[in-house]
Chain A
Amino acid sequence: MIEIKNVNYHYAGSENNGLENINLNIYDGECVLLCGASGCGKTTLTRLVNGLIPHFFKGELAGEVMINGKVVSQEEIYNLAGIVGSVFQNPRSQFFSVDTDGEITFGPENIGIEKKEILARKDKVITELNLEKLMNRSLFELSGGEKQKIACGSVAALLPEIVILDEPSSNLDYKSIKKLRDIILLWKSQGKTIIISEHRLWYLRNVIDRVIYMEKGRIEKEWNHEEFAKLNAEELALKELRPVDVEENYINRFFGKNSDKEEQIYDKTQNEPADNEMVLRDFFFTYHPKKYLLFRKKISPQDEKICELKIPYLKVRKGEIIGVIGNNGSGKSTFLRCLCGLEKSCIGRVETCDRNVYGTKLTKLCYMVMQDVNHQLFTDSVLSEVMLSMEKPDENIADGILKELDLFEYRQKHPMALSGGQKQRVAIASAMAAKAEIMLFDEPTSGLDYRHMKEVSGLLKQLSEQGKTVFVSTHDPELLELCCDRTIRIENGKAYEVF
């Protein structure tokens, strides 16, 4: 049993994400969901249980956390390793090995379990979680969903009684989320205590026993399973939570089940684009071209067989917001990368009524806001970040753009000191300064709560009103609903129009 008594906590040097007056008992075999807006303290609460607070993150802790009668703050963290297992949000930064086998045996090796026993556990975990296909591979080649499965396996090999999952689905697609749910159900049937902190609620509806809603570091409300499943979208939206119910319709969209409602996009008419239209032509690409010694050959439509992306023709209206959906590895990100000119061997081009843009010139026409926006902020102030994108730096224009995006008050701040949403807006500001006409967003809402998701959709609409064409790749049906004019599903590199 986990007992949390009168806990108050503040991170050292930060006012945010602290906890106030938390009292909570979690019983053996229970499956508890922690939800609430970003910064409500749900991640902090999970850290109390796995011992990262106070052993790893420094701060002021008052009160007591006990697991099976032992006080967490007085145990060494390696003694907790065999009791509490943790799966984290970011699949790429939670594995220690470079190969999948080593990762699963990593935990048991650390705590000095006998070799025979480790190998037996490894085999058991592999069968239970269906990891056979992932064995003996480099972790760096796996998709996010596959990495997350390995992380689950690595935790399971330690045979913990308690499993903690901190926003485990943030970077996963629909299929992987369902697999993750299967793993959680398996653990539940094995009698493990499970604590999940999460924004995406739909996949957990029939998994959890109890829901704890947090706000500003306090526990505000508790629902049991029946009460929670009955909550409708409005009640949840009031609490800034995402819907519990994701309509069948969306699920089918993501899995492409209702194929009568979609069709592949062909070049039927060979139409030239009209005034307010653009045509994307010949987007073919492969990551595994024929072996070459010195120079990579350009990929043409004739190479279609080996291509991972094959979109010969796509017509869009200027100012349209186009949702791009599809499972991980279907070619979504590849499409965005080719469209903004990052893949040199792609011969795709964008035609408008008066221009024909291709090759590296696409980088001028298109701008991608990356999933990890930290990669695209280079300077030491928001203002210079925007000025950097301008051909002729003009402070007045830059200020105008910043005002439009509510960033004016932060103009002298360091971009890295801003919140995630603000960073995203800085990236958008620099795209506007560069006069990009097509804006690409790579999963802009992964790991965001409902309020921030609405903010992002508001921004996308704002861009479209200014005449920018927006492509947004996403796994969130809620976002499609909020702002997309049309939806394209990419499967095996081919584009399908979804109606």
Chain B
Amino acid sequence: MSNERKNQDITGWVHLDPRSKLMLLVLFSVVVMIDVVDGPAYIIRVIMTFIPVVLVCLEGKIHIGVRFTLLFVAASWLQIYAQKYVGGVAGMLLLFLCYMIMQFAPTIITVWYCISTTKISEFMAAMNRMHLPQGIAISIAVMMRFFPTLGEEYSSIRDAMRMRGIGLGGGKVSKMVEYRMIPLLFSCISIGDELSAAAVTRGLGAPVVRTDVSEIRFRFRDYMIVSTMLILTILYIIFSIKGGNVVL
């Protein structure tokens, strides 16, 4: 492993408060839920989409930002093109694909940003400050801990499938899913068991007030980003109601 990666700070230098990230996620899901295809609301939507992309780029992952931008631009262009020139089933499929990319890619990149730059201890501290019950905080923390593990497991399973030459499941979609899911489930169950055994021997779940070593606080950039997103979301809702996209 190279030295620069060794010293990499997980939270990156923007280092938003976990609560701002949570806010970002909530506002973003509101925007994604209301579907808009044109007008001023659409412009706001695009701006909001690119805020997390900018954040990702600021963490030095410029290649990911660029790839996302290309994908997004290609999908929007293709959508317009398909609406005009491609008809029939092919057109429908193409439209559907573009729609999926435009809907989900921004959410995925936001979630990825939020999870990959948050330490579990910071997250637990944030949950504690918000006076959420420990049970909920622990469950979400376990999920955050599990995402990278899932990724690791999945990639070794994919390797094993490549070696067997069954990556495409012999042409059957059901087999493709089955071959991936069965080993994944088995290994997740055993890892989950070992993980919880290790956690309870370290006192997780003790009925005491948990101490938080991590310093978390709202900084100027937190206020900046949260207020920008909040204003944009409100504008978005107003414009989409005016545009008739949302019926009250």
Assess whether A67 is interfacial by the CB under 8 Å rule: no
Q: Are A154 and B202 closer than 8 Å at their CB atoms?
A: yes
- A to B CB contacts below 8 Å, 17 in the list: A52-B201, A56-B196, A77-B201, A78-B204, A94-B195, A96-B198, A96-B199, A99-B120, A110-B206, A112-B206, A136-B7, A137-B10, A158-B202, A292-B63, A363-B162, A364-B165, A375-B187
The one of A82, A375, A389 in contact with B153, judged by C-beta atoms closer than 8 angstroms, is: A375
Q: Are A81 and B202 closer than 8 Å at their CB atoms?
A: yes
Q: Are A374 and B183 closer than 8 Å at their CB atoms?
A: yes
Q: Are B213 and A119 closer than 8 Å at their CB atoms?
A: yes
Assess whether B54 is interfacial by the CB under 8 Å rule: no
B119-137 CB mask vs A (1 if < 8 Å, else 0) is 1111010000000000000
Q: Are B199 and A329 closer than 8 Å at their CB atoms?
A: no
Closest to A151 in B: B198
Q: Chain A contact residues (Cβ within 8 angstroms of B): what range?
A: 35 or more
Closest to B208 in A: A112
Q: Report B7 CB to chain A, min CB distance, Å.
A: 8
Assess whether B26 is interfacial by the CB under 8 Å rule: no
Q: How far is B213's CA from A108's CA once the two chains are assembled, in angstroms?
A: 10
Counting chain A CB atoms within 10 Å of each CB, the highest count among B1, B2, B209 belongs to: B1
Interface positions of A (Cβ within 8 A of B) = 50-52, 55-56, 76-82, 84-86, 88, 90, 92-99, 101-102, 105-115, 118-119, 122, 133, 136-138, 140-141, 154-155, 158, 288, 291-294, 329, 337, 340-342, 360, 363-364, 367-368, 370, 372, 374-379, 388-389, 416, 430, 434
Q: Report A328 CB to chain B, min CB distance, Å.
A: 11
Q: How far is B138's CA from A78's CA once the two chains are assembled, in angstroms?
A: 15
Q: Are A78 and B159 closer than 8 Å at their CB atoms?
A: no
Q: Are B163 and A367 closer than 8 Å at their CB atoms?
A: yes
Q: Are B145 and A86 closer than 8 Å at their CB atoms?
A: no
Q: Are B160 and A112 closer than 8 Å at their CB atoms?
A: no
How many residues of B are counted as interface, with CB atoms below 8 angstroms from the partner's CB atoms? 63
Closest to A377 in B: B183
Assess whether B191 is interfacial by the CB under 8 Å rule: yes
Q: Report A471 CB to chain B, min CB distance, Å.
A: 14
Assess whether B66 is interfacial by the CB under 8 Å rule: yes
B145-179 CB mask vs A (1 if < 8 Å, else 0) is 10011001100110111111110000000000011
Q: Report A372 CB to chain B, min CB distance, Å.
A: 7
Q: Are A388 and B164 closer than 8 Å at their CB atoms?
A: yes
Q: How far is B102's CA from A249's CA once the two chains are assembled, in angstroms?
A: 62
User: For A82, what are the chain B residues with a Cβ–Cβ distance below 8 Å?
Assistant: 203
Assess whether B212 is interfacial by the CB under 8 Å rule: yes
Q: Report B144 CB to chain A, min CB distance, Å.
A: 7
Q: Report B228 CB to chain A, min CB distance, Å.
A: 28
Q: How far is B119's CA from A101's CA once the two chains are assembled, in angstroms?
A: 9
Closest to B161 in A: A378
Q: Report A192 CB to chain B, min CB distance, Å.
A: 15
Q: Report B45 CB to chain A, min CB distance, Å.
A: 26
User: For B124, what are the chain A residues with a Cβ–Cβ distance below 8 Å?
Assistant: 109
Assess whether B90 is interfacial by the CB under 8 Å rule: no
Closest to A109 in B: B211
Assess whether B194 is interfacial by the CB under 8 Å rule: yes
Q: Report A482 CB to chain B, min CB distance, Å.
A: 26
B22-45 CB mask vs A (1 if < 8 Å, else 0) is 000000000000000000000000
Assess whether B139 is interfacial by the CB under 8 Å rule: no
Q: Are A93 and B121 also in contact (CB < 8 A) when A378-B161, A378-B179 are?
A: no
Rank and list the top 8 A-B pairs by shortest CB-CB distance, nearest first: A81-B203, A78-B206, A112-B208, A102-B121, A376-B160, A94-B198, A110-B203, A93-B194
Q: Are B157 and A140 closer than 8 Å at their CB atoms?
A: no
Q: How far is B206's CA from A111's CA once the two chains are assembled, in angstroms?
A: 6
Q: Are B119 and A99 closer than 8 Å at their CB atoms?
A: yes
Q: Report A62 CB to chain B, min CB distance, Å.
A: 22
Counting chain B CB atoms within 10 Å of each CB, the highest count among A90, A99, A140, A430 belongs to: A99
Q: Are A342 and B162 closer than 8 Å at their CB atoms?
A: yes
Closest to A329 in B: B1
User: For A50, what are the chain B residues with a Cβ–Cβ distance below 8 Å?
Assistant: 201
User: For B195, what are the chain A residues with a Cβ–Cβ distance below 8 Å?
Assistant: 93-94, 96
Q: Are A81 and B9 closer than 8 Å at their CB atoms?
A: no
Q: Are A109 and B182 also in contact (CB < 8 A) when A99-B10, A141-B5 are?
A: no
Closest to A96 in B: B199
Q: Are A98 and B10 closer than 8 Å at their CB atoms?
A: yes
Q: Are B164 and A376 closer than 8 Å at their CB atoms?
A: yes
Q: Are B1 and A78 closer than 8 Å at their CB atoms?
A: no
User: For A337, what are the chain B residues with a Cβ–Cβ distance below 8 Å?
Assistant: 159
Q: Report B64 CB to chain A, min CB distance, Å.
A: 10
The one of B121, B198, B200 in contact with A101, judged by C-beta atoms closer than 8 angstroms, is: B121
Starting from the known contacts A51-B201, A115-B213, 14 additional A-B residue pairs (CB-CB under 8 Å) come to A84-B201, A86-B198, A92-B149, A93-B190, A93-B198, A94-B194, A98-B144, A110-B202, A110-B205, A111-B206, A341-B162, A367-B163, A374-B183, A378-B178
